[in-house]
A = this chain, B = another copy of it.
Amino acid sequence: NHVVLCGYGRNGNQALKKLRQYKKEVVVIEHDKEKWEALQDDDILFIKGDATKDEVLKEANIENASHLISALDEDTQNLFIVLSAKQMNNQLKIICRASTEANYKKMKLAGADNVILPEKVGGDHLASLVVTPDLIDFFDKLSISDGDTHNVRELKFNVLCPDDNEKSINELEKFNKTGCKIIGYKDKGNKFSVNPESDFILKKGSSVIIIGNSKQMQNLRANFELKD
Contact = CB atoms under 8 A, between A and B. Distances in A.
Chain multiplicity (copies):
2
Interface string A12-37: 11111111001010000000000000
Interface in A118-134: 118-132, 134
A193 interface: yes
Interface string A82-95: 00000000000101
A41 interface: no
A110 interface: no
Interface residues of A, number: 72
A121 B221 CA distance: 31
Contacts of A142: 135, 184, 194
Interface stretch (A52-60, A160-168, A207-215): A207-215
A30 to B, nearest CB: 14
Nearest to A186: B141
B127 A118 contact: no
Contacts of A153: 134-135
A158 to B, nearest CB: 17
A216 B196 CA distance: 10
B195 A15 contact: no
A14, A150, A180 pick with most chain B CB within 10 angstroms:
A14
26 contacts: A10-B119, A11-B123, A14-B120, A15-B127, A18-B123, A18-B131, A19-B127, A22-B127, A71-B123, A71-B126, A93-B130, A95-B130, A122-B122, A132-B150, A134-B152, A135-B142, A135-B153, A138-B154, A138-B209, A141-B192, A151-B194, A151-B195, A179-B195, A179-B197, A181-B195, A195-B211
Interface of A: 3, 9-19, 22, 24, 67, 69, 71, 93, 95, 97, 113-114, 116-132, 134-135, 137-139, 141-143, 145-146, 149-154, 179-181, 183-184, 191-195, 197, 209, 211-214, 216
Given A22-B131, A139-B139, A194-B214, 9 more contacts: A10-B119, A14-B119, A95-B126, A97-B122, A134-B150, A145-B191, A151-B195, A180-B195, A181-B195
